[in-house]
Structures are given as structure tokens and as C-alpha cells.
Amino acid sequence: MSQGLVFVICAPSGTGKTTLAGRLLAEFPQLNFSVSCTTRPPRPGEVDGEDYFFLSKQEFEAKRADNEFLEWAEVHGNYYGTLRKTVEEALSKGKDLLFDIDVQGAAQVRLNLPGHCVFAFIAPPSILALRHRLEARGSECPEIICRRIANAKAEVANAHWFDFLVVNDELELAYQELKSAYLAARLYPTRQAGLINKLLAE
Ligand code: 5GP
């Protein structure tokens, strides 16, 4: 059996990450969404246990104290974290996991789960284009947009250590590039130890 892969996707907010990740999950049934814990309240339509495990701050802090998180971070004033259990269960069954997490969390995953992960960063074509996208959403006030832009730049400053960098200018092209990154990552010989051993045993 091939070893499960953790495909980590990071992107500044407004870059189209959710759309791209959703397409990848829809196309590849062996790729499972890693459900994170968060202390932010559910948005309309979000389901506990599917989109997130929605926890109180106290519940989150108790899990953190028990070292249950592979990684965690404070993002936009709320806590977010990935449970070790989620990852261990998926990888032991040979499944692939998609992490949609922020850059701080990705840096922890890189340290805590070496050898299992591939990191893809999705960037906007320009900061101006990102600003236009955030403004077009119409859901955030100018101060929040300014904060998101500053956060975006801080995240872009980390993009150099990722394995893949996809620019989401034209959605279809960006999707094909992200898909190529995932497919390429699955071909690493380190994830196919089972096959190598089988060939050698013949
Ligand atoms: P949202 O609240 O819009 O769903 O997510 C806000 C940000 O938190 C996004 O950048 C998302 O990728 C990030 N995020 C979601 N889950 C996790 C997690 O488990 N860990 C970390 N570090 N970030 C997360």
C-alpha cells in the first residue's frame, strides 16, 4: 500500500483557495479534507464535524494543553488547529489528506510531520488584484481589507519555502497547476515504498 500524503494548501484570504481545494477534493476521492478545530462560530450552512469541529475557547485550550494538536495558530482573533488523531487515522489507512491551513500552521506541520507533506502556496497575480477581489466581495469594511492585505504580504513572504507556487490569475489554469502539483507529489518514491519492496521481493 502506498503511504498517505498530506497536501498542505496555503493562500492569503481572497485568493480562491476554497474553490481550488473544493475542486481537487471533488476530483480525487482518495484525497480527504482534514477537518480542523476552530473557536470561531459557524457560518450559515457550515456543519460541525464536516467543515470544522466547532469548539469553545476552553475546549480548545484543554486539547492544546493535552498536546492533541499537530499544529495550531491564532488567525483573525480565533484559534484553529489540526488534531493529531485526524492525521494519524488517515495516514495509517493510506489515505491522502488536504490541509487548508494558514502559513503559521504549515510551518509547524513541516517541523512536526517531516516526510509526509507537500506544501503548495496559492498567490494572487498582484496585491492590487487581491485588493479588488476583497473589495468586490463587499463583505468586509476598509480596515479589515487593509488588515487582510497586510496579512497577505506576510504570508507571501513565506512562499519561498513551499514546494509549489501557483498563481491564481485564471482559475482553470490555476486548478490545472494545483492538480499537477498534487499528482507529482504522489509520485515521490518515498510514498511508494510498498511498491518498491514488492518489486524487489519478486
Ligand atoms: P476561515 O475562518 O475563513 O474558515 O479560515 C481562516 C483561516 O484559518 C484560513 O486561512 C484557513 O486556512 C485557516 N485555518 C483553517 N483551519 C486551520 C487549522 O487547522 N490550522 C491553521 N493553522 N489554520 C487553519
Reported as a single tens digit per residue, the pLDDT across 17-69 is 999 999 999 999 999 999 999 999 999 999 999 999 999 999 999 999 999 99
Spell out the domains of the chain, with CATH numbers in brackets: 6-34+95-201 (3.40.50.300)
How confident is the model at residue 137, as a pLDDT?
82
Q: Which atom of ligand 1 is nearest to the CA of 105?
A: 22
Spacing, Cα 113 to ligand 1 middle (Å): 18
How confident is the model at residue 2, as a pLDDT?
63
Spacing, Cα 12 to ligand 1 middle (Å): 10
Mean pLDDT of the chain: 94
- Amino acid letter for position 177: E
User: Measured between alpha carbons, how far is 11 from 17 in angstroms, rounded to an integer?
Assistant: 6
How confident is the model at residue 1, as a pLDDT?
52
- The verdict on the CB of residue 80 being under 6 Å from ligand 1 is yes
Task: Look at the pTM and tell me if it is higher than 0.85.
Answer: yes
Which distant-in-sequence residues (6+ apart) come within 8 Å of 176 by Cβ?
none
